[in-house]
Amino acid sequence: MDKLRVGVIGVGHMGNYHARIYHQLQKYVDFVGVCDIRKSRANEIAALYGTKPFYHFRDLLPHVDAVNIAVPTSEHYKVAKGCLEAGVHILLEKPMTRIYEDAVELIDIAEKQNLSFHVGHVERFNAAVLELTDVIKGQTPVFLEAKRQGPPGERERTSGVILDLMIHDIDIILGLVKSGVAGIAAVGKKVYSKFEDIANVQIYFENGSFATISASRVSQTKIRTLSITMPDYDIFLDYASEDISIHRKATTSDNVVDGKMKQVQDSYVERLTVNRDNPLRLEVEHFLNCIQDHEKPIYSAMDNLRSLKIALKALEITERNLRG
């Protein structure tokens, strides 16, 4: 069986990571090349991973079966559509597009062409998230609180924190709650860029669940956590360390202390063991397995559309509030 021919389009910050993964997987794939409109960057990354540089994505397409796309969000629709129409499977970095209807069109093209179209929500492959899905299976969370914050960094920003950071948490929470959305509230603030650098979004679900999500790229501390209140216990997840713990409901008992009857509350924390791995590598391997072995995607096209729709709605509300 011939190796799957793969490439990476856009080798900036995230695309470089994708290229590194394919370099590590060359026993299983033919890493044809990398593409970037910045010739010096394409040459640099191609030399680093021993592959060929391309300077326009259409020049790469005749040589590959599948590509990872990590270009700026504003270019997602154009590049993804060109790849799909050329019969190439794609793993497109989140968010799919800035316009919901464009995302729907891309999915339609992929389905008509019988192509794998994955969206790069890497937190889906976080070991703690994979464990969390099993922990709350069939149960309804009462309240969920996600925090994702960090320093500004030096990368050029092409979108705000809702589409850049918060969409990860929106995606995970929608996958856990599994209920229609009844309402959304959102606020944000520009600090360093022309986009929202801080945002807080509240999601109200039809089944009564409630979530609040905060994202910031102006904090000097790096936090990526998810807290979930269940009817009888709490869950705390740290995306960065891939740790997950369950805080069980306290029990109350009457004890004699120093000759006096006192009520004592007992509680305990259960720290779950998870199989840690590189989430991005797992995501890429899943993409390849879906192409080669017809593995079922862990998230459907409708799941991807739903996450995008809620994120875009939150962004719309935030921008309206910013305008006053």
Q: Which CATH architecture has domain 4-120?
A: 3-Layer(aba) Sandwich (3.40)
Task: Please give the average per-residue pLDDT across 7-17, as a whole number.
Answer: 97
**CATH architecture label of 124-277+306-323:** 2-Layer Sandwich (3.30)
Judge whether residue 249 has pLDDT over 80.
no
Q: Where in the chain is the domain with CATH 3.40.50.720?
A: 4-120
Q: What's the confidence (pLDDT) of residue 261?
A: 61
Name beta bridge partners: 215.
Answer: 148, 199
Percent of the chain with pLDDT over 70: 93
Residue 196's pLDDT is: 95
- Residue-wise pLDDT for 271-293, tens only, equals 887 888 999 999 999 999 999 99
CATH 3.30.360.10, the chain: domain bounds = 124-277+306-323
> Is the pLDDT at 61 greater than 70, yes or no?
yes
pTM of the entire predicted model: 0.91
Residue 114 has pLDDT above 90, yes or no: yes
Q: List, for residues 86-105, the tens digit of each pLDDT value.
A: 999 999 999 999 999 999 99
Question: Please, which pLDDT band fits residue 159 given cuts at 50, 70 and 90?
Answer: confident
Residue indicated by tokens 């993964």: 21
pLDDT at 253: 59
pLDDT at 153 over 90: no
